[in-house]
Amino acid sequence: MRTSELGKARIVDDERGRGMLRIGEVSKRSGIGIEALRFYEKSGLLDKPSRTYSGYRVYGPEILDRLAFIKRAQALGFSLDEIRRIVDDARRGESPCDEVREIVSRRLEELDERMRELRRYRKELAETLEEWNKVGRAPGHICGLIESSHVEHGEKKGKLGGQRSGKKKRG
């Protein structure tokens, strides 16, 4: 694999060296769309990859681990922003683990709080539904089902019903 350093971007002559991949292949193997890969790069989640002379991105096989890392972290509830901070630390040679640990701890607390809310919320819903089955509809209202519920509705800081925004992954 002959390479030549040129300022910042490594330019790779032979991309069939050892498992070198172009973006489409990376996309197929990782299950992450090409556009998303470029988006990750732009937002600093991925290092700028080497390029062929003609400008094509060329990735080493380790990109797949990195992407798996990202997906895993996402699945664990990290935002891309948090993941970026972690990756930045790693790039600077600092162990990001302290930061990760902090984030995870915070996430755990949030999670517990969220689950408490969800449980309350579920109880409300179920009770309301049941109650409605007994009572029937109250006239003069939009719907007794909702009006008769006793859910707290002043704060809304936790917004329970979110993320139903219907975003299907490709595939």
Q: Does 165 bind DNA (CB under 7 A)?
A: yes
Amino acid identity, position 137: R
Q: Which stretch binds DNA (CB under 7 A): 118-126, 133-141, 142-150, 158-166?
A: 158-166
Q: Which stretch binds a copy of itself (CB under 8 A): 7-15, 33-41, 52-60, 142-150?
A: 142-150
Q: Does 169 bind DNA (CB under 7 A)?
A: yes
Q: Does 73 bind a copy of itself (CB under 8 A)?
A: yes
Q: Which helix (H) or strand (E) holds 4?
A: strand 3-4
Distance CA 67, CA 84 (A): 12
Q: Which of residues 95-134 bind DNA (CB under 7 A)?
A: none
Q: Does 111 bind a copy of itself (CB under 8 A)?
A: yes
Q: Which stretch binds a copy of itself (CB under 8 A): 6-14, 16-24, 53-61, 110-118?
A: 110-118
Buried b (16+ CB within 10 A) or exposed e, 131-160: ebeeeeeeeeeeebbeeeeeeeeeeeeeee
C-alpha 110 chain-centroid distance: 16
* DSSP3 helix / strand / coil % (the chain, rounded to 5): 50, 5, 45
Kindly write out the interface string for residues 60-99 of this chain, putting x where it contacts DNA by CB under 7 A and - elsewhere: --------------x----xxx------------------
